[in-house]
Amino acid sequence: MQHFKHALEELKAQDRLRRLPDLPQQGRYIVSDGLKLLNLSSNDYLGLAHDKALRHEFLNSEACRNLPWSSSSSRLLTGGFPIYQELEALLAARYQREAALLFNSGYHANVGILPALADKKTLILADKWVHASLIDGIRLSGADYLRYRHNDYAQLERLLEQRAADYRCVIIVTESLFSMDGDTADLPHLVRLKKRYGHVLLYVDEAHAVGAYGETGLGLAEMQDCVADIDILTGTFGKALASVGAFAVCSGLIKEYLTNHMRTLIFSTALPPVNMAWTHFVFRQLPGMKARRERLAGISRRLREAVAAHHPSPMPAAANSHIIPCVLGSNGAAVKQAQAWQKQGYYCLPIRPPTVPPGSARVRLSLTADISDDELDGFIQTLGIVDN
Ligand SMILES: *Cc1c(COP(=O)(O)O)cnc(C)c1O
């Protein structure tokens, strides 16, 4: 078993060894080595995960008191508690789509949907930067696939022209908000491309956008006014929704097909009903959280402008969200910058290959709506003094 040890030593030598940290949290602060650090790496975009009033309201609700903490089974066997269908009905109604389907996590969704839908007569065309879970789903599907350059729709258009006719079905796969560059897809453009064909489906992962964008918090497809034209729109509950699990909205046909073919849905114990009730409780309130979304947008704009002013090259020009990358290049530089910020009281992390392309190691900042102006000002002050 020496090869395990050698492989780990090699990762360490490359500054790429991963560890599981022990990180107690106090609201939007993380406690690390006795220091309190402002969490600038959270996916709790609306600040709901630490909202005690919201939690207490739920804890006192009928649903919370009466629902079990385990489903004890897959939904297809005995785990089919009514709360699942209630949440699916709420999602379908909000997105104004025929159907919604719940999954245990975004990972389960992405690793299960493509293998269920795709076969040897399917071509998958995926953005080069889609999430690891989508890549795993593509690989597991066994379908032919090509990855187009990030957000390069001219290349995607050529691939469709050259290859689509050879397949029974083509699936375009993208995220709406990309988690490493903080930039976004042009969903209406993708809709126009797919509509030229009768057999092309569009699959959009809104993991980082659900809750945070759109008039009622449904995501970027709502903001870009094209929810109805996305064949499979997925989102997670573990990020802005402060819960756990994931969903897709789609046609009734696709839902029924997935229910019969999707292995990560069929062969896994459903999430606890009490968690579903919490998701339902939070999701129901999303339209009323506009002030939090506006706050997030406002502080994100301020931080992006400050980072761009202090580090003219390191931020990808297209970054336009609450995820703000400072690209530093080498692994060592990213690690050093993150450590420097941690010393100043800000919890942010280096992101290294293979999560991002070689030579583009970065510190990834992500904001949450409950960060105060003073806290943001304090961090912006460090942009000038912490340098490589
Ligand atoms: C976080 C994330 C997932 C995984 O979702 P989980 O619910 O955490 O498993 C999937 N896709 C994207 C784009 C993500 O960012």
- Is the pLDDT reported for residue 58 higher than 90? yes
pLDDT, tens only, 345-378: 999 999 988 888 899 999 999 999 999 999 999 9
How many Cα atoms are found within 13 Å in the side-chain-facing hemisphere of 365?
A: 31
**Average pLDDT in the 300-304 region?**
95
Q: Is the backbone peptide bond immediately before 354 cis, with ω within 30 degrees of 0? A: yes
Beta strands in the chain (DSSP E): 25-26, 29-32, 35-39, 99-103, 122-127, 144-148, 169-175, 200-205, 232-236, 246-250, 323-329, 346-347, 349-351, 361-366
Distance CA 104, CA 115 (A): 16
Out of 127, 133, 351, mutate this one to test ligand 1's pocket (max ligand atoms within 8 Å of CB): namely: 133
Residue closest via CA to ligand 1's atom 15 equals 207
All structural domains of the chain, each given as residue ranges with its CATH number in brackets, are 22-47+289-384 (3.90.1150.10), 56-287 (3.40.640.10)
Q: With beta carbons less than 8 A apart as the criterion, state whether 261 and 112 touch.
A: no
pLDDT, tens only, 254-270: 999 999 999 999 999 99
pLDDT, tens only, 133-165: 999 999 999 999 999 999 999 999 999 999 999
pTM of the model: 0.96
Q: Does the beta carbon of 41 lie inside 6 Å of ligand 1? A: no
**CA 341 to centroid of ligand 1, rounded, Å:** 26
pLDDT averaged over every residue in the chain: 94
**CA 193 to centroid of ligand 1, rounded, Å:** 26
**CA 41 to centroid of ligand 1, rounded, Å:** 15
Enzyme catalytic residues: 43, 131, 175, 179, 205, 208, 239
Distance CA 321, CA 99 (A): 29
